Amino acid sequence: MKKDLFIALIKKAKRESSAYSFADIVGLSCDTLDIRGYQHKGYFAAITSLDDFYRANMELLDYGTAMDFFKQDWPFYTKTTDACPTHYHPGGKVTNSLVCNAASIEGIVENSIIGRHVHIGKGAIVKNSIILSYADISDGTYIENAVIDKWVKVKNVKKIVSDSVTPAYIKRNDVL
């Protein structure tokens, strides 16, 4: 589906009824759209909430799931952002994690996803978390079961932990 059509359908759904979902408006537009199906038997994640986003991303840390998602015969075409490789400093340690380019890892990262240009400070520990691009996690910070949005600076708060099923969330551009 082209991006323009996708956006037009979302706007149409909003105009028609606040109760309409994207699937509802596609169903109602069948008479004017050329709709065809394709049976997909691989990995699928419906992301409709923060919990879903967190769960689906964390599932990609499982090698089998990742290989089912990233198939050679069904490639992803994305824009690339050329940047230097991630710098793993002495004392930095990463286990079972996905780390994007241009990150700087001085602390410990376990079972987490680290975005582009993220800095994890000395003595910082990040577990079971998603840290999105350009976040800066200061020295000695402990983060567990959290989603840290883009451009967040964690400078003064030294502990961000969620003990519930729902991850802690720090909004974009926030400074803690």
The pair of three-digit structure tokens given for residue 98, joined into one six-digit string = 């996905």
Q: What is the identity of the amino acid at 97?
A: S
23-78 pLDDT, tens digit each = 889 988 888 988 888 887 888 888 989 999 999 999 999 999 988 877 888 787 77
Predicted pLDDT at 59 = 95
Q: β-strand 104-105 against 159-161: which pairing, if any? A: unpaired
Residue 43, helix vs strand vs coil? coil
CA 58, CA 13: separation in Å to the nearest integer?
31
CA 55, CA 53: separation in Å to the nearest integer?
6
As a whole number, the mean pLDDT across the chain is: 93
CA 88, CA 119: separation in Å to the nearest integer?
10
DSSP string, 84-108: PPPEE-TT-EEES-EE-TT-EE-SE
Q: Could you tell me the domains of the chain?
A: 1-37 (no CATH), 87-170 (2.160.10.10)
Between 93 and 10, name the one with better pLDDT. 93
The pair of three-digit structure tokens given for residue 151, joined into one six-digit string = 């451009």
Looking from the CA of 56 toward its CB, the CA atoms found within 13 Å total 12
Which residue shows structure tokens 């015969």? 73
Q: Rounded to two decimals, what is the model's pTM?
A: 0.82
Predicted pLDDT at 117 = 97
Above pLDDT 90, what percent of the chain? Answer: 65
Predicted pLDDT at 38 = 80
Task: Identify the band that residue 164 occupies on the pLDDT scale cut at 50, 70 and 90.
Answer: confident
DSSP state of 148: E
Maximum C-alpha span of the chain = 62
96-114 pLDDT, tens digit each = 999 999 999 999 999 999 9
Q: Given a cut of 80, is residue 79 above it in pLDDT?
A: no
Q: Given a cut of 80, is residue 80 above it in pLDDT?
A: no
